[in-house]
Amino acid sequence: MNLRAFLLTAFLLSAGQAGALTVAGSVEGSVPPDLRVAGVVVSPFGQVIQEVASVPVTQGRFTLELPSAAPSARAQAVLTPQNVTWPGVIDPVQVSAQAQVAELKFFTYRDVNNNGRRDENEALREVTAQVRGASLFVVWVNTDVTVTASKGFQAPLRRGWNAFLLDVGRVVKVQPFADSTVVTVRVGR
């Protein structure tokens, strides 16, 4: 293999793996034995579009691995200041470059037929993943872009999945999320 072919192969392998993300957590509340935690892409208006990953809750814990692959084209939207309806974002909103985006939210559902995936008759319940009062926010982008808004909101996004802890108050604190951070999800009692 010549150097050029080797470098191209190395680039493609690293590009394919860019943006993978793991979210580990615990579930508080009444946890039925068939409960699953899912990462679901939603529209800018919060409508469910595509489940990208789900895992069972085992002994009150879960580890959800988001694939490095892009969400489906149907799940992506053009990132514009008008469709950034993320937590803590208040006008004026600025987007540094043109990009495709997919917002991910967390849901739970009961896998009543135990087939390892959500079926139409299995109701989704949106949940918030939190760390010490800050909410976990996850978004996928197809290219590097920075989103800024008032009250100090600034999110530098890299191609692939991005995760931040958002603490919304007088100012919006956007902190990087590390895979080693354990989140807490509360379900109904």
Domain encompassing residue 169? 20-186
Strands 35-42 and 61-66, by their bridges, are unpaired
What is the rounded CA–CA span in Å between residue 99 and residue 112?
A: 38
pLDDT band at 189 (very low <50, low <70, confident <90, very high): low
CA distance to 6, 42, 114, 168, 184, per residue, from 39 (Å): 35, 10, 18, 22, 14
144 lies in a domain?
yes
Residue 114 confidence (pLDDT): 87
7 lies in a domain?
no
pLDDT tens by residue, 16-73? 334 579 999 999 999 999 999 999 999 988 899 999 999 999 999 999 999 999 999 9
26 lies in a domain?
yes
Residue 179 confidence (pLDDT): 86
Residue 74 has pLDDT above 50, yes or no: yes
Residue 62 contacts residue 27 (beta carbons within 8 Å): yes
**What backbone torsions phi and psi does residue 63 show, to the nearest 5 degrees?**
-135, 110
8 lies in a domain?
no
The DSSP string of 9-25 is HHHHHHHHHTT-EEEEE
Residue 1 has pLDDT above 90, yes or no: no
Split into its structural domains, the chain has a count of 1
Structure tokens at 16: 């394919």
pLDDT tens by residue, 97-133? 999 999 999 999 999 998 988 988 999 999 999 999 9
pLDDT band at 8 (very low <50, low <70, confident <90, very high): very low
6 lies in a domain?
no
pLDDT tens by residue, 77-94? 999 999 898 998 999 999
Residue 5 confidence (pLDDT): 34
Residue 146 confidence (pLDDT): 97
